[in-house]
């Protein structure tokens, strides 16, 4: 168990260390001091509302990464998280503004609508994949483009948008639909829906490792043929995995919309979906790994503003995000090979002699 833990921690640590080194070199080349840049990045956490912003963004990134991870588990590359969360957020904001319901019920309905809309957006690639074998990478990327267009269409003033100054916004969601935040005064407000991300991660972990469905999902990912031989309906699994992934993606925009903006506007942020793909990779699709990956990602994201403030090129944080994802893939492969070699040696030793086995079992106790 400790060996397993060590090997699963070693890879990300290697990756972070390597990318930090890369960034330090980049900073030196561009004429900045890496140590002071690091100091600024760490120091920002104590300033203003940055700590709270990091927590809030972590939750958002967790949801995006979980959406991506559900697909990854089955070797389905759902690149469409980006479009799915946009559609989910927009449709939920529109429907949420129409409804008049008591508070808690109102939230739940909005969340449900967001999930349905996200799943619906994933339905087309899923059907194409199952019936026609269209690769989901292609179809989901195309759906992202369409999602942008559809969102622009739906939010125009002739449809669901209204003009606020130079901005367009949907009708605001009434108070009953707004999820209360944890108010920390000058430190900011933690979104109530941060809890949603935690719950989602817990459910994801439980379903994946404690249910038959999760086993079938993982088995289909590991070896589709073996899973099929074991009686798993591959097409059904693809449908379920992609739709669930889309449904979770639909939730990504919810913490911000229900906790702060209370409407979908032209300023609705993009790129959460793509960040989610990287974070899922970073966290190795494990709920705890994803949580830490999201935290790191949010921390780097926020440090861009602080770096800009002291005149350090903030692109350095973007470089670091990219370098981490790239090197984590390499690091996992290296650690995997090291483990395999160690395993082979251990097996070899155990097979060769009898003596150490007794000693080993003794020490194990």
**Which positions touch other proteins (CB under 8 A)?**
47-50, 53, 56-57, 86, 148-149, 151-153, 155-157, 163-168, 186, 256, 260-261, 266-271, 301-302, 304-306, 308-309, 314
Quote the least distance from Cβ 104 to other proteins, whole Å: 25
CB of 149 to other proteins, least distance (A): 6
Query: What's the Rg (C-alpha) of the chain?
Result: 23
Sequence-distant (≥ 6) Cβ neighbours of residue 306 within 8 angstroms: 40, 41, 43, 44, 47, 50
Q: 109 or 305: whose CB is closer to other proteins? A: 305
Least separation in angstroms between residue 328's CB and other proteins is 23
In the complex, minimum distance from the CB of residue 63 to other proteins, in angstroms, rounded to a whole number:
14
**CB-based contacts of 358: which residues, under 8 Å, 6+ apart?**
none
Place of tokens 């100054």: 165
Nearer to other proteins, 223 or 309 (CB): 309
Quick one: the chain helix, strand, coil %, rounded to 5? 75, 5, 20
Angstrom CA distances, 342 to 335, 336, 339, 352, stand at 10, 10, 5, 15
- In the bound state with other proteins, the residue whose beta carbon lies nearer, of 22 and 317, is 317
298 CB-near residues (< 8 Å, 6+ apart): 53, 54, 55, 56, 57, 58, 61
The residue (of 53 and 216) whose beta carbon lies closer to other proteins is 53
Nearer to other proteins, 130 or 305 (CB): 305
> In terms of CB distance, is 108 or 270 closer to other proteins?
270
- Tell the smallest beta-carbon distance from residue 34 to other proteins (Å): 21
Which residue blocks in 133-256 are alpha helix, DSSP H? 136-154, 194-210, 212-222, 224-229, 234-250, 254-256
> Which stretch of DSSP H or E encloses residue 156?
none
Q: What is the spatial distance between Cα 234 and Cα 229, in angstroms, rounded to a whole number? A: 10
In whole angstroms, how close is the CB of 258 to other proteins at the nearest point?
A: 14
């Amino acid at each position: 168990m400790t060996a397993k833990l060590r090997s699963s921690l070693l890879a990300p640590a290697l990756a972070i260390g390597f990318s930090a080194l890369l960034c330090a070199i980049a900073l030196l080349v561009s004429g900045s001091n890496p140590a002071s840049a690091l100091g600024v990045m760490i120091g920002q956490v104590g300033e203003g509302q940055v700590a709270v912003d990091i927590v809030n963004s972590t939750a958002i990134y967790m949801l995006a990464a979980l959406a991506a991870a559900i697909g990854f588990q089955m070797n389905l590359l759902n690149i469409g998280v980006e479009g799915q969360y946009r559609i989910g957020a927009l449709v939920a904001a529109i429907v949420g503004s129409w409804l008049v319901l008591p508070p808690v019920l109102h939230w739940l309905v909005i969340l449900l609508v967001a999930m349905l809309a996200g799943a619906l957006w994933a339905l087309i690639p899923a059907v194409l994949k199952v019936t026609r074998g269209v690769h989901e990478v292609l179809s989901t990327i195309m759906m992202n483009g369409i999602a942008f267009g559809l969102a622009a269409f739906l939010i125009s003033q002739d449809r669901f948008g209204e003009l606020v100054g130079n901005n367009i916004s949907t009708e605001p969601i009434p108070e009953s639909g707004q999820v209360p935040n944890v108010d920390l005064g000058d430190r900011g407000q933690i979104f109530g829906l941060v809890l949603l991300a935690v719950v989602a991660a817990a459910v994801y972990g439980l379903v994946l490792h404690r249910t038959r469905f999760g086993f079938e999902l993982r088995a289909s990912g590991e070896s589709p043929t073996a899973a099929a031989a074991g009686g798993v309906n591959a097409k059904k699994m693809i449908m379920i995995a992609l739709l669930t992934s889309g449904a979770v993606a639909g939730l990504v925009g919810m913490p911000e919309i229900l906790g702060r903006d209370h409407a979908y506007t032209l300023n609705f942020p993009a790129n959460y979906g793509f960040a989610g793909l990287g974070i899922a990779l970073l966290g190795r699709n494990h709920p705890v790994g994803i949580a830490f990956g999201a935290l790191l990602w949010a921390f780097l994201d926020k440090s861009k503003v602080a770096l800009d403030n002291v005149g350090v090129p903030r692109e350095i944080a973007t470089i670091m995000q990219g370098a981490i994802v790239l090197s984590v893939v390499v690091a996992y492969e290296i650690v995997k090979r090291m483990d395999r070699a160690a395993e082979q040696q251990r097996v070899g030793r155990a097979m060769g002699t009898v003596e150490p086995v007794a000693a080993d079992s003794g020490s194990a106790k």
